Amino acid sequence: MESWHGTTILGVRKGGKTVIAGDGQVSMGNTVMKPNAKKVRRIGEKGDVIGGFAGATADAFTLFERLERKLEQYNGQLMRAAVELAKDWRTDKYLRNLEALMIVADKDVMLILTGNGDVLEPEAGIAAIGSGGNYALAAARALADYEQDPEVLARRAMQIASEVCVFTNDRLTVETIDG
């Protein structure tokens, strides 16, 4: 079975502002299946949490829905909701089979969530996942000392990733939260 590729998600937290950017490409093998997928969105009752996903779309939407329920259950506390989701993701027979990674953020914290039960706070406020994640991460880290605006930094790093990674394009979805 061919595997689906083509996601780059980058989170940048700097100067009280958090940005999550995602490209729009979905590929199967060496074919671009969709160039304008939306992999970054607002979640939570007030839309005060942003998230981006890499992996199977249906799996990611399931995880976003579960995270939204956890946010409601824990009064919008992202860290607590993320830890509880990670516990469920690791132990629940259904959730354990979901193949996705997520970057989520609110005004206080940015996290990477994995199916292994990891809830990671990225070093230096920069996180990236997906096929082009390492390219975007390297570009963002290189630009971090020279660009103070996290949205400009994220957009430029994603542009660089799209020029290097064949599974990444330059059709971005960008969401921001001010701290």
Mean pLDDT value of segment 83-101: 80
Pairing of strands 126-130, 8-14: antiparallel
% helix, strand, coil for the chain, step of 5:
35, 30, 35
- Structure pTM? 0.93
Burial 7-24 (b: 16+ CB within 10 A, else e): bbbbbbbbeebbbbbbbb
More confident residue, 95 or 50: 50
* pLDDT confidence bin for 6, thresholds 50/70/90: low
* pLDDT confidence bin for 156, thresholds 50/70/90: very high
What is the edge-to-edge ordering of all strands in the sheet holding 173-178? 126-130, 8-14, 17-22, 173-178
**Per-residue pLDDT tens digits for 100-137:** 889 999 999 999 998 788 899 998 999 999 989 999 99
Burial class (CB within 10 angstroms; exposed 0-12, middle 13-18, buried 19+) of 104: buried
- In this prediction, residue 60 carries a pLDDT of 79
| Dihedral angle sign, alpha carbons of residues 123, 67, 151, 4 | positive
Q: Lowest-pLDDT range, 75-79, 92-96, 127-131, 144-148?
A: 92-96
Please choose, from the candidates 93, 101, 28, the residue with its C-alpha nearest in 3D space to the C-alpha of residue 64. Answer: 101
**Tokens matching residue 93:** 């027979």
CATH class of 4-174: alpha beta
Domain ranges within the chain, ordered by starting residue: 4-174
Quick check: is 31 catalytic?
no
Average predicted confidence (pLDDT) for the chain: 90
**Tokens matching residue 174:** 């960008």
